[in-house]
Chain A
Amino acid sequence: MNRADGTATYLYCLVHAARPASGRVPRGLAGAGPVRLLDAGDGLWLAAADAPLARYGADPIERGLHDLNWVSACAMGHESVVEHFARRATVIPMKLFTLFASDERAIAHVRRTRRRLDRLIARVGGRQEWGVRLLLDENRALKARARGGARTGRTGTAFLLNKKQEHDAVHHLRLGAVAEGNRLFQRLARQADDARRQTPAQSGAGLRVLLDAAFLVRAGRAVAFRTATAKLGRQLAGAGYHLTLSGPWPPYTFVAEPA
């Protein structure tokens, strides 16, 4: 379980259970060994596997990160193991490519951060993560607005006036859209136990990302959360907005190290 045999310890997640019911654990990452449960004491287990450094060392990962297909295949393998345990117990999911030099180092890391982990377990237990994204199709939104105002005259002055009006329209549209994103976040956060906003990456192509957020929702409140989100999505759809909801996820966002 160390570099001497060319493997590292890959960590999928931590499992909080007296003794995890393993069942038929999925295979996980391609080329990695079967999932093993390492005891960190007091009801905390590491779901780990041997990962060959030839495939999951620094250089192969560096190269692989250029290839979205490779990353996606790894992501599916990782997630399948995390979700397997998440269905049976409270888990602290690790991010993709969490690797340790050996089992001992992985366990030592968990022991070192045990107090923080226990707080996290209390916070995320019995809860799910849901992702919400709000996008604005600016072209569609502007068209929807332009239908209202008729253009007058064909003189140079009218042309310049129209140009100014178009410019103002874009400006107002963007201001309104930012407010809409904030409002959506606040409304959904009230239905959740915790909420995090990420700085959205912009795509260009006339699509503006106004909100990229994760919500931590009690399992018993998930249906209400979905219903509320879908309703807000329908209300926003007419004005050129797209709302997407994804989940339930293991609480990846809410167990992340503070930035």
Chain B
Amino acid sequence: MKPRRPPTNVQAILDTADPTLLDLVDHVLNKGLIIDGEVVLGLANVDLVYLRLSALLCAADRLIESPAARGRRRAAS
């Protein structure tokens, strides 16, 4: 098992509580998980992530776009 990678720009984004990234986590996590067969996953700590997320999301107060929209704009320019 490889050691966890050192903090990257993700760290920097979170330190400034980038609302786009937090919204992304909120969207993709949203308590959904399919469990099938032998792979059984407990997700007790999702609530913990959510508590931290909701606090950070509340700090956001501007119009934001998903990474996809930003990527598209970059691609267009």
A30: chain B residues within 8 A (beta carbon) = 5
Shortest A120–chain B CB gap in Å is 14
Q: How far is the CA of A97 from the CA of B35 in the complex (A)?
A: 9
A233: chain B residues within 8 A (beta carbon) = 63
Shortest A223–chain B CB gap in Å is 12
Chain A residues 207-259 with CB under 8 Å of chain B are 207, 209, 230, 233, 242, 244-249, 252-253, 256-257
A86: chain B residues within 8 A (beta carbon) = 68
Shortest A141–chain B CB gap in Å is 14
Q: Contacting B39 at CB < 8 Å: which of A75, A99, A129, A203?
A: A99
Q: How far is the CA of A83 from the CA of B27 in the complex (A)?
A: 13
Most buried by B among A57, A66, A95, A105: A95
Shortest A176–chain B CB gap in Å is 19
Say whether B41 contacts A61, CB under 8 Å.
Answer: yes
Say whether B57 contacts A94, CB under 8 Å.
Answer: no
Count of interface residues, chain A, beta-carbon cutoff 8 Å: 67
Q: Does A76 contact B (CB under 8 A)?
A: yes
Q: Does B76 contact A (CB under 8 A)?
A: no
Chain A residues 33-92 with CB under 8 Å of chain B are 53-55, 57-58, 61-62, 65-66, 68-73, 75-76, 78-80, 82-83, 86-87
Query: How large, as a class, is the contact surface on chain B?
Result: 35 or more
Q: Does A98 contact B (CB under 8 A)?
A: yes
Q: Contacting A69 at CB < 8 Å: which of B10, B54, B60?
A: B10
A256: chain B residues within 8 A (beta carbon) = 30, 32
Q: How far is the CA of A225 from the CA of B66 in the complex (A)?
A: 15
Q: How far is the CA of A67 from the CA of B44 in the complex (A)?
A: 14
Q: Contacting A244 at CB < 8 Å: which of B41, B44, B45, B64?
A: B64
Say whether B36 contacts A100, CB under 8 Å.
Answer: yes
Say whether A95 contacts B30, CB under 8 Å.
Answer: yes
Q: Does A125 contact B (CB under 8 A)?
A: no
Q: How far is the CA of A55 from the CA of B3 in the complex (A)?
A: 10
A135: chain B residues within 8 A (beta carbon) = 58, 61
Report B's interface with A, CB cutoff 8 A.
1-2, 4-5, 7-8, 10-11, 13-14, 19-46, 48-55, 57-58, 60-69, 71-72
**CB-defined A-B contacts under 8 Å, sample of 25:** A55-B2, A62-B43, A65-B46, A66-B48, A66-B49, A83-B71, A94-B32, A94-B34, A95-B31, A95-B33, A100-B36, A100-B37, A131-B27, A203-B58, A205-B55, A242-B60, A244-B62, A246-B23, A246-B65, A247-B66, A247-B69, A249-B66, A249-B68, A253-B27, A257-B32
9 closest pairs, A vs B, by CB?
A95-B32, A101-B37, A201-B54, A203-B58, A242-B61, A65-B45, A83-B68, A96-B28, A54-B1
